[in-house]
Amino acid sequence: MAFNLAMYPISYVAQYNPATGKWDEAWHQADSVRFEELERMSVAEQNAVYAKRNLFGLPLVNYTTQYALGCFEGMKAYPQKNGALTLFRPDRNAARFHTSMKGLYAPPFPEELYLSASIEFLKRNRELGYVPAYNPDWEKDTFAGASAVYVRPFMYSEGAIGVGISHSPYVIICATTVSSYFKGQNTKAIITDRIRATPKGTGWIKCASNYVASALAKKEAEEAGYMEVIFLDATDRKYVEEGSSCNIFFHLKSGELVTPALGDTILPGITRSSVIELARAEGVRVVERRISIQEVAKKCVECFVTGTAAGITPIESVTWKGKEYVFNDRVPGELGKRLQSRLKGIQYGTLPDAFKWNVSV
């Protein structure tokens, strides 16, 4: 299923009021067609439902729609084995969203408001049956095909034309049900000639504009038979930075687990930081540093990408300048599988939440 356009009927909208310095909040409930019914509809029928779920009177022409001046978050809520529903590390998303809006010179959304609105949003949609129930069958493949709620808070500017900065932005929260992100038979990746982010740019902000280059590069990679694309740095064109929409890890022959160090060109992923903590907790030497594609080609024995949507996804090979470098005989590595099992177990409540990452809804 991956991302599903059958969006949940209740949405949250807040707008910053410069006169009061406060955020004016509102809730919008659209047609409450149950999720299961939406899934059975044809595309035309779904579109008819979406047409009724308008933009709540939001301006169509603005800095976001015209110039991609906007940022967003992606976080998941997981059905628990005990029947509960929990958000995974929403405090980290709240902090990153605050940083992103501040980086765009917009009034930043308060972290405590982010958390309270997200929890209330899930409660309201859950009452309408729009949250999947826990399925014991998910455990058979270590939750590889399990469902979760993908929550998307995003910034949307006030009406405007002409390049400028948002002074009275909206923050909207919507959601849909998701399953596994990557689809297909292979897990091959290729180095792209495109550049995702430049020094002194916006690579560290989860802003809309960053994803244009990623979408184009990923489309080119898929047409060439690859699942994923990998970006190199803009200056030296030899240091690995990110995947299309995920961070990346390399398990080297030495036993070291390396992920590119954060800077102003790399997004600080929440799954990335979680994987680092999980690996270090079991004694793995994790290092955040620059790593060249040449070092990857010579020393890497296992590679995987991480992200809210991607989880921990193995990469079987990386193709660079026409040559394919294969990892672990194309079989998912033991470290990645182990970390994925622990991460999913914590998220779905089958393993103890020793790090206190889950927040109950």
For the ranges 91-95, 230-234, 248-252, 305-309, the lowest mean pLDDT is seen at 305-309
Helix (H) or strand (E) holding 97: helix 90-103
Residue 135 has pLDDT above 60, yes or no: yes
How many Å apart are CA 31 and CA 53, to the nearest integer? Answer: 7
Query: Residues near 229 by Cβ (< 8 Å), separated by ≥ 6?
Result: 189, 190, 191, 192, 194, 214, 217, 218, 220, 221, 243, 244
Amino acid type, 256: E
Please give the mean pLDDT across all residues of the chain. 92
Residue 339 has pLDDT above 60, yes or no: yes
192-211 confidence digits (pLDDT tens)? 999 999 999 999 999 999 99
Model confidence pLDDT, tens digit, residues 21-66: 999 999 988 765 666 676 677 767 766 666 665 556 788 899 999 9
Residue type, 342: R
pLDDT at site 1: 42
**Averaged pLDDT, 318-340:** 96
Q: Cβ–Cβ contacts within 10 Å for residue 102, how many?
A: 14
Q: What is the pLDDT of residue 334?
A: 96
CA atoms within 13 A on the CB side of 97: 27
pLDDT at 247: 97
Strands 188-191 and 228-232: parallel
Q: How far apart (Å, rounded) are the C-alpha atoms in residues 353 and 78? A: 13
**In this predicted structure, what is the pLDDT of residue 53?**
56
Task: Determine which of 45-54, 62-71, 177-186, 273-282 has the lowest per-residue pLDDT on average.
Answer: 45-54
Written as six digits, the tokens of 79 are: 């059905």
Per-residue pLDDT, 8? 82
At 113, list the tokens: 């408001």
Q: Which residue, among 293, 290, 242, 292, has the nearest Cα to 268 in the 3D structure?
A: 242
Task: Look up tokens 């309270």; give the residue.
Answer: 116
Alpha helices in 176-266 (DSSP H): 210-223
**Residue 222 clears pLDDT 50, i.e. is over it:** yes
Query: What local confidence, expressed as pLDDT, does residue 144 receive?
Result: 86
Q: What is the mean pLDDT of residues 257-270?
A: 97
| pLDDT classification of 298: cutoffs 50, 70, 90 | very high
Q: Which CATH architecture has domain 10-178?
A: 2-Layer Sandwich (3.30)
Give 39-79 as a DSSP string: HHS-HHHHHHHHHHS--TT--SSBHHHHH---BB--EEEEE
pLDDT at 223: 96
Domain ranges of the chain: 10-178, 188-348
- Residues 230-252 have a mean pLDDT of 97
| pLDDT confidence tier of residue 217, bands split at 50, 70 and 90 | very high
- Please give the Cα distance from 10 to 240 (Å, whole number): 40
Buried residues in 23-46 as b, exposed as e (16+ CB within 10 A): beeeebebeebebeebeeeeeeeb
Q: Name the phi and psi angles at 124, rounded to 5.
A: -65, -40
Which whole number is the average pLDDT over 256-276? 97
188-348 under CATH 3.40.50.300, yes or no: no
Higher pLDDT, 40 or 109: 109
114 pLDDT more than 50: yes
Q: Is 321 exposed, middle or buried (0-12, 13-18, 19+ CB in 10 A)?
A: exposed
Query: In the chain, what percentage of residues exceed pLDDT 70?
Result: 92
Please determine whether the domains at 10-178 and 188-348 fall in the same fold group of CATH: no
Which pLDDT score, from 0 to 100, does residue 60 have? Answer: 87
Burial of 244 (0-12, 13-18, 19+ CB in 10 A): buried
